[in-house]
Chains A and B, each alone.
Chain A
Amino acid sequence: MDFTFDTEQQALREAVAGLLQRAYDPEKRRAVTKEDPGFDEKVWSQLAEMGVLGLPFAEEDGGMGAGHAEVALVATEVGRVLAPEPFVESVVLAGGLVADVGTAEQRAQLLGALSEGSSLVVFAHAEPGSRWTPTATGVTATRSGDGWTLSGTKEPVPSGARADVLVVSAAVEGGTGLFVVRGDATGLTRDGYRTHDGTRAARVTLDGTPAELLGEDAGDRTAAIELALARATVAYAHEAVGAMETALTTTSEYLKTRKQFGVPLSRFQALTFRAADMYVSLELVRSIALWATMVVDAPDSTPEQVLAAADRARLQTSKAGRHIGKEAIQLHGGIGVTAEYSVGHYTSRLTAIDHLLGDGAWAADRLARTVDAHPYVEALPA
């Protein structure tokens, strides 16, 4: 067991941190997120040049052949400055599905373009009326000649209006299939909007829209979707850890500098004790996020182990994110609620992450199902 990153990984972190910290301070982020597409296309290209957008993909697919430890480092830096680029949404989630399910040709084409930054791929999966399921019911796929057409509504789809390619989950005979829909396909309507965390989402309406089957067979892809969602959940845990870390350091700084009653706020134990508890929450979730990444990366982990690790990371991220997010605002006072100051945006993004792929209560419910299947949880597998 080893929690440390090697020198190559640390170099990656420093490079990404340098790029993102130059690109974003709270002012710049506010300006960028005001305009569509809600992120900076130039930063996205720079991430591509650095190899970040192809990190987890095989080299023959145009990627870097790195692991989820590297993904975790990038996600943490994204979270630290609240970079609005859809790294987890596109690279980890949509890209992960293509990597797992796509044919060699699809992988080379879609992942190659995603890695180069020339094509933004996102996963259109959520449907109004259902929550956090790996299956699709609101969009159905029908065979049409050699190909397929899709009909139904997906919403909210992160970066759904800006995306060049959508990977769409849809009901097929015997389960849920995955399909590739081009942004310029006929019968595709996308209504984009701004979300509370400064990013973008869209309603994606499909009406007899031509689609290409992802992978060789039209079989049920529920298991692949579940696994991809689990990996994205773990990456989000790291994005959240980065955000929580900044929320805490920002709060600590504020307590040291803000004066009331003639003294810095840090003189009030009622406040410093709460900051100490935020630190406890942060370190606990950091530990479990790192562990979950190691489970994802371990070559002999079973899908069940990866799903359970993601649920554990999700539960802790939800608790810690709510705790730190809410306390960061409260310890600042009124300024924490303003859009002009940075800290509330961290709370907003943490709240979004909490609800994108399943919240803490949802994860706890899943973990509760197997609670009597083990005497205790093993942190160190044999």
Chain B
Amino acid sequence: MQLHLSPEDQAFRDEMRTFFTTKIPQAIRDDVAAHREVSKESYVEAQRILNAAGLAVPHWPAEWGGRDWTPLQRHIWREEMQLAAVPEPLAFNASMIGPVIAAFGNQEQKERFLPATANLDIWWCQGFSEPDAGSDLASLRTVAVRDGDDWVVNGQKTWTTLGQYADWIFCLVRTDPTAEKKQRGISMLVFPMDTPGVTLRPIELLDGGFEVNEVFFEDVRVPAENLIGEENRGWDYAKFLLGNERVGIARVGATKRMIADAKEHAARLSSGGRPLIEDPSMRTRIAELENELLALELTALRVVSNSSDGKPNPASSVLKLRGSELQQAATELLVDIAGPLSLASFADDDATDVPEWARSATPEYLNYRKVSIYGGSNEVQRTIIAGTILGL
């Protein structure tokens, strides 16, 4: 039992903090902090700066740019990045397809894809969910049929985040419709988004933004060499990938930043003749939220220190479940602090006196309903906890 960071970890944290707050352009960090839409160019610029310094894919195998960090150091890296409002390395690249190719791809695929994936020279998107396959992902119906040296893909994916920026897609497709278990007949294919037969339809969300898409495949020809790993083993790779997705999904640093912002805003707004931050019920609400967040952060630290073998810990479901709830609670706090100002949500800069944070509060709150749905909905997490941990 030891409260303090070791001198090495302390130095590591200082190094990360200094790097993130001095090497990533302020304008990009301002966009993240203000919850503005971050442009593709900004994502790419930030990730390339990180990658050049060896900070984009530290959790990958060392030969592909990974670092030999402890789980605690990885936690500190992610936490400091979020606190500094640095756009995190694109999850589809750094946390999803990159580790899958590193673990299951052949040598040629590793050489072809991994350096470009780490550097965001290739922007990946995810082709998993379908209209009839959400939490029940294994029910997916997009099919790939072998035809000579190609796979021919037909079907539809949905909720493909930032697909409009993507160069390539990694896609779960059904390659053996006769398999006894539906999980057994699935494979993972990768192909460029400009392959003939691929079309993309953006989906507008409640916040007015377009971050997810439907993707349609009509006789899309994919060379056989673009199969990742073995045929009909795609479900294993998907589970491996989703396990990675849950690591760091608590997003404690990002929530801390939102609460800190909320306190600043509450200090500047007047309510009942005094600053809102002096209202006892507001103070208690913030104190309780901060305590819940501390408990979550400490739980994340416990989970990382117990999962040094790299396998996802079932307790990471707690992080996803509670992390999403607290992110949502922080967005709700910001809406409540904005109060009537929050109605000016879609006003242009030159047409309103309402500050930007108050205008973005409700769109963000509505958008953040997503966090308890993606990455395995919170109901899926409860199922995992009840089944895997409690044996129910």
Interface, chain A (partner B; CB < 8 A): 1-5, 9, 69, 248, 252, 255-256, 266, 269, 272-273, 275-277, 279-280, 283-288, 290-291, 293-295, 297-298, 301, 312, 315-316, 364-365, 367-369, 371-372, 375-377, 379-382
B267 at interface (Cβ–Cβ under 8 A)? yes
**Contact assessment for A287 and B298 in the assembled complex, using a CB-CB cutoff below 8 Å:** yes
* Size of B's binding interface in residues, CB under 8 A: 51
**Contact assessment for A371 and B287 in the assembled complex, using a CB-CB cutoff below 8 Å:** yes
Known: A5-B1, A279-B390, A294-B1. A377 touches B321 (CB 8 A): no
Q: Chain A contacts of B267 at CB under 8 A? A: 372
Partner of A379, one of B263, B297, B390: B297
Known: A69-B1, A371-B290. A287 touches B299 (CB 8 A): yes
Q: Chain A contacts of B383 at CB under 8 A? A: 269, 272-273, 276
Q: Chain A contacts of B381 at CB under 8 A? A: 276
**Contact assessment for B386 and A1 in the assembled complex, using a CB-CB cutoff below 8 Å:** no
Whole-angstrom distance between the Cβ of B381 and the nearest chain A Cβ: 8
**Contact assessment for A376 and B298 in the assembled complex, using a CB-CB cutoff below 8 Å:** no
Q: Report the nearest A residue to B381, measured CB to CB.
A: A276
Q: Chain A contacts of B147 at CB under 8 A? A: none
Known: A315-B288, A381-B4. A266 touches B392 (CB 8 A): yes
**Contact assessment for A288 and B294 in the assembled complex, using a CB-CB cutoff below 8 Å:** yes
Whole-angstrom distance between the Cβ of A328 and the nearest chain B Cβ: 13
Q: Chain B contacts of A279 at CB under 8 A? A: 318, 385, 389-390
Known: A4-B1, A275-B392, A371-B286. A284 touches B305 (CB 8 A): no
Contact with A along B256-294 (1 / 0, CB 8 A): 110110010001000000000100100110111011111
Main SS class of interface, A:
helix
**Contact assessment for A1 and B391 in the assembled complex, using a CB-CB cutoff below 8 Å:** no
Q: Report the nearest B residue to A366, measured CB to CB.
A: B287
C-alpha spacing A316/B386, complex, angstroms: 22
Q: Chain A contacts of B385 at CB under 8 A? A: 276, 279-280
12 more CB-based (< 8 A) A-B contacts, given A1-B3, A298-B4 = A4-B305, A256-B392, A276-B382, A284-B295, A285-B295, A364-B288, A365-B280, A372-B267, A376-B256, A376-B260, A377-B291, A380-B4
Known: A279-B389, A375-B263. A312 touches B1 (CB 8 A): no
C-alpha spacing A295/B13, complex, angstroms: 20
**Contact assessment for B315 and A283 in the assembled complex, using a CB-CB cutoff below 8 Å:** yes
Q: Chain A contacts of B390 at CB under 8 A? A: 248, 252, 272, 275-276, 279
Q: Chain B contacts of A301 at CB under 8 A? A: 3
**Contact assessment for B259 and A294 in the assembled complex, using a CB-CB cutoff below 8 Å:** no
Whole-angstrom distance between the Cβ of A321 and the nearest chain B Cβ: 14
**Contact assessment for B379 and A273 in the assembled complex, using a CB-CB cutoff below 8 Å:** yes
Q: Chain A contacts of B382 at CB under 8 A? A: 272-273, 276-277
**Contact assessment for B291 and A312 in the assembled complex, using a CB-CB cutoff below 8 Å:** yes
Could you tell me which residues of chain B, from 213 to 261, have a CB within 8 Å of some CB in chain A? 256-257, 259-260
B296 at interface (Cβ–Cβ under 8 A)? yes
Whole-angstrom distance between the Cβ of B167 and the nearest chain A Cβ: 37
Known: A280-B385, A284-B322. A290 touches B283 (CB 8 A): no
Q: Chain A contacts of B257 at CB under 8 A? A: 376
**Contact assessment for A291 and B3 in the assembled complex, using a CB-CB cutoff below 8 Å:** yes
**Contact assessment for B1 and A290 in the assembled complex, using a CB-CB cutoff below 8 Å:** yes
**Contact assessment for B284 and A1 in the assembled complex, using a CB-CB cutoff below 8 Å:** no
**Contact assessment for A377 and B3 in the assembled complex, using a CB-CB cutoff below 8 Å:** no
B107 at interface (Cβ–Cβ under 8 A)? no
Q: Chain A contacts of B9 at CB under 8 A? A: 1
Whole-angstrom distance between the Cβ of A232 and the nearest chain B Cβ: 19
Q: Report the nearest A residue to B386, measured CB to CB.
A: A272
Interface centre among B3, B260, B277, B301 (most CB of A within 10 A): B3
**Contact assessment for B288 and A2 in the assembled complex, using a CB-CB cutoff below 8 Å:** no
Whole-angstrom distance between the Cβ of A282 and the nearest chain B Cβ: 9
Q: Chain B contacts of A375 at CB under 8 A? A: 256, 260, 263
Q: Chain A contacts of B72 at CB under 8 A? A: 1
Q: Chain A contacts of B288 at CB under 8 A? A: 315, 364, 367
B5 at interface (Cβ–Cβ under 8 A)? yes
Known: A280-B322, A291-B298. A297 touches B1 (CB 8 A): yes
